[in-house]
Structure 1
Amino acid sequence: MTSAATASDRLVAHFAGKLEFETDSSDVHADQENGVRFVLVDSRGDSAWQQGRIVGALHLPTAEIAVRAPHEIPLETPVVTYCWGPGCNGSTRAALEFAKLGYRVKEMIGGFEYWAREGYPVEDDHGRIKRAKDPLTAPLDSITCDC
């Protein structure tokens, strides 16, 4: 096998692996809208949860996953984790905890920040929060970015 073929195979494996283990806010929202069965887990702490969260998310801080998840989420249910945003690896740590327990899990890249910036449903302890789409993260005149 040539080194070019080997490099190409490694690239394909790398990017296929990313798509197997990561998702984004657009795809998660589409799955919610289409009734795809999964649990969306907010792995942040209490004050972050109270400040704002994705509508329909389950609050399960990373430190509590090992104890609570087996009682609250059936093992056969896919899980998507999120934390603050791309500058935070909390969703990675949470996804690792779910993987250790045997769950099928994906990490939502971009986290709460990009979910909110793309104008998807957000709420806090007082109810829903209406946010405009940020033109730097989502097309204003289209449902998807067609990527």
Structure 2
Amino acid sequence: MSKTLAVPPAPATAAVAYFTAALAHQTDVSDVRADLAADVPGLVVVDARGIDAWRQGRLPGAVHLPHRDIAARATSLFPAGTAVVTYCWGPGCNGATRAALEFARLGYPVKEMIGGYEYWVREGFEVATDTGPRSLPVDALTAVADCGC
């Protein structure tokens, strides 16, 4: 018996609803990079990590707002209706999810950047640091020149 099909796939209508909802809640590092490069108006990228991680490197243009501070500070930093993308360390961390939840509770449209800072760096994208911009070599296991998505 198939391990993959031991639980049957969802009917197509349920799959459409599920994947549509996933895309409404998540974005990825490549799409965020493209939007930052295009300077998309009304979009804010929030780094939900602590200060030590922030100092090691962050997405260019990101705002540092640890998830524990969002409820107290977000409304003084961002106008209502601002579209927010949250990120934290990487797939093994739920800080971006916690941050997205806090923004949603405050009424902001929000998406979580899957892959987080880890995949941003692994794809060779430039990061901002206190001493200036830097990039690491692309990790061949996570990035290709163009995956076609």
Structure 1 residue 130, shift from structure 2 partner: 2.2
Instruction: Tell me the amino acid that sits aligned with residue 146 of structure 1.
Output: G
Task: Give the corresponding residue for 2:39.
Answer: 35
Structure 1 residue 35, shift from structure 2 partner: 2.1
Instruction: Tell me the amino acid that sits aligned with residue 44 of structure 2.
Output: V
Query: Does the 8 A contact of 2:83 with 2:109 survive in 1?
Result: yes
* Corresponding residue pairs, total: 140
Matches within 5 A, 1:37-116: 37=41, 38-116=43-121
Instruction: Tell me the amino acid that sits aligned with residue 13 of structure 1.
Output: A
Separation of aligned partners in 2, 1:114 and 1:75: 29
Instruction: Tell me the amino acid that sits aligned with residue 32 of structure 2.
Output: V
Q: Identify unmatched segments of 5+ residues in structure 2.
A: 1-7
Relative to structure 2, which stretch is displaced further, 14-23 or 116-125?
A: 116-125
Q: Does 1:24 align with 2:41?
A: no
Poorly superposed stretches of 4+, deviation over 2 Å: none
Query: Does the 8 A contact of 2:121 with 2:135 survive in 1?
Result: no
Q: Identify unmatched segments of 5+ residues in structure 1.
A: none
Q: TM-score, normalised by structure 1?
A: 0.90
Task: Give the corresponding residue for 1:146.
Answer: 148
- Higher fraction of strand: 1
Q: TM-score, normalised by structure 2?
A: 0.89
Separation of aligned partners in 2, 1:130 and 1:113: 12
Separation of aligned partners in 2, 1:33 and 1:94: 23
Report % sequence identity. Answer: 56
